[in-house]
Structure 1
């Protein structure tokens, strides 16, 4: 029993040496192994061995795609200060793990410096509105600059994105006011156009109504004239001349009108004059008016003809 107890220290030391000589590397990760402070090898995922107390794991490098967010404050061409957030997605090239681990002490600082340099070179050339429109151009410029610069250090730039553009608070308030005023202006224009269209369409409808009303009145008067003409012809056939027939028709219409007014007890219409002689007087006045109108027309035609003859004589002389 005492002999077995004497082996315990050796067993313990053996276990320590065993566990110190093995290590495990996770998937998508590589380990950098150094011997006496000098690079020895790159170990990939899985179960790995090393000489204990001689070999040392200097560090582990992830081969996953990583993202670095950089916020840059700069000024635009129209003197507006703006904060731009650029997201850089990058990955360490598997074949250049040595360069990525040993050449750059702080890769994040290096990438940030290039992002600042490119953004502050590109944005001051643009107005604020153009920054929003051309944010993809800014991202492409950052990617091109970073890809060439970081390739020698073992970094591959997958993609760069301008994820946020944040102007000064007062500028955003002013932009919102401009946008609101522009929308109100557009709304007022649409309302004005709608009102104008409504007025035009209403005027067209009234004009069409008046035209149809006038056409109806003309058709009504035409039918009345035709009816009167037929009435005169019928009376002429029974031996009543045209003047007597006209007087008879006027008197008949006069009494028909009086009868129509009498049928409505609540009517406020008064027909003047309403004596039996009124129909004859109206007919005589109409005939006199037609006769006077014909005389005036003949006189005007005669004067026009004499004027034309005088002008022609002057031209011949």
Structure 2
């Protein structure tokens, strides 16, 4: 059975409709945005999911990745403010926020971001001394991020982080810095040691001062007690109490004997008296006081002290 023209036209039409449908249906993956151009001019942006465009009139212009991306910054040499040559490399993180601006405002987005980051690294780090450069890396990162982000804002991107990975000074400069650090630490150690000796001397002087003050206070109180005791004995004697005088003299006499016995320059003490002589001396002193003050005789008569001195021994050669 021969086919008519209509029989051929229907399948061809169906195939064309299917081709048109396939050409007009666009699927955008998650994390991407597609720009649509109509006769070469941007019209709209396709979001992730299933989208329809006019076939043969509209076409996909740019497929922009909207996820955060990492851009490696190659190593470059930077001259610092104090003329030190260092090698620096880093990494930059950015994210496209506006697909049309990123697609049509700059040609070669990643290359533009890379060159912008490298230029600002040289500018920022070249305005700092080497010591400041090595100790303020966080401040450098923050400053770089704000500068690059402001410059790349017309491109529809957001700089999330700009990090300096390595700062490598020359080997001879590293050795000089190590010697400088050692000298600085030695200086600090000597200062701390001197401060310690100073504090020790101050505390020792304060201790001697406090001890002298307390010794003087003790001597003052002892003198006051002695004066008070003497005054009390004088008042008792003036009232006719001879026993107070006997006690006072016996106490001094006993203290004198104790000092003689405890002397370090003698091991043996020879005294021409015995224990009863001390009592006899006290009784004699009491009798004198009774005659002077006219006090009644309340004490027992003193016994004469016996002499304990032995006659000298005559040797064979002296007889």
Normalised by the size of structure 1, how large is the TM-score?
Answer: 0.58
Match of 1:70 among 73, 83, 105: 73
Name 1:96's counterpart in structure 2: 101
Provide, for residues 36-73 of structure 1, a one-character-per-residue CA deviation record: whole Å limited to 9, x for no partner: x9678654432245789998756522223434232443
Distance 1:62 1:20 in 2: 23
Q: Counterpart in 1 of 2:150?
A: 144
| Aligned residue runs from structure 1 range 1-317, under 5 A | 17=19, 21=23, 22-31=25-34, 43-48=46-51, 60-71=63-74, 72-82=76-86, 83-85=88-90, 87-96=92-101, 98-99=103-104, 104=107, 106-131=108-133, 132-133=135-136, 134-135=139-140, 136-147=142-153, 151=154, 154-164=155-165, 166-168=167-169, 170=171, 171-172=173-174, 174-175=176-177, 178-179=180-181, 181-232=183-234, 234-235=236-237, 253-255=252-254, 257-258=256-257
CA contact (8 A) 1:62 1:92 kept: no
Alignment partners' CA distance in 2, 1:141 and 1:239: 106
Q: Determine the C-alpha separation between the residues in 1 that align with 2:63 and 2:231.
A: 120
- For 2:63 and 2:32, the matched residues in 1 are separated by 7
Q: Secondary structure at the match of 1:79?
A: coil
* Distance 1:124-1:176 versus aligned 2 partners, 3 A rule: same
Deviations 1:129-166 (A, max 9, x none): 3335451334433333343xxx2xx4334445344451
Give the whole-Å Cα distance in 1 for the aligned partners of 2:239 and 2:53. Answer: 144
Query: Retained in 1: the 8 A contact 2:26–2:50?
Result: yes
Aligned residues: 254
User: Are the counterparts in 1 of residues 92 and 159 from structure 2 also a CA contact under 8 Å?
Assistant: no
Residue 110 of structure 1: how far off its partner (Å): 1.8
Aligned-pair distance for 1:99? 0.6
SS in 1 for 2:205: helix
Contact 1:140 1:160 in 2 (8 A): no
Unaligned runs of 5+ in 1: 1-6, 281-317
Residue aligned with 1:47, SS: strand
Decide whether aligned partners of structure 1 residues 193 and 69 sit closer, same or farther in structure 2, where only a CA change above 3 A counts.
same
Match of 2:81, SS state, is coil
Partner Cα separation in structure 2 for residue 259 and residue 97 of structure 1 = 109
8 Å CA contact 1:119–1:142 kept in 2: the answer is no
Q: SS of the residue aligned with 1:68?
A: strand
SS at 1:61 equivalent: strand
CA contact (8 A) 1:261 1:267 kept: no
> Per-residue deviation at 1:176?
5.3
Q: Residues 18 and 275 from structure 1, CA distance in 2 versus in 1: closer, same or farther, beyond 3 angstroms?
A: farther
1:250 to partner: Cα distance: 6.3
Cα separation, partners in 2 of 1:229 and 1:98, compared to 1, 3 Å: closer
- The alpha-carbon distance between structure 1 residues 237 and 272, as it changes in their structure 2 partners (threshold 3 A), is farther
TM-score, structure 2 length as denominator?
0.58
Gaps of 5+ in 2: 1-7, 282-319
Is the contact made by 1:84 and 1:165 (CA closer than 8 Å) also made in structure 2? yes
- Aligned Cα root-mean-square deviation (Å): 4.7
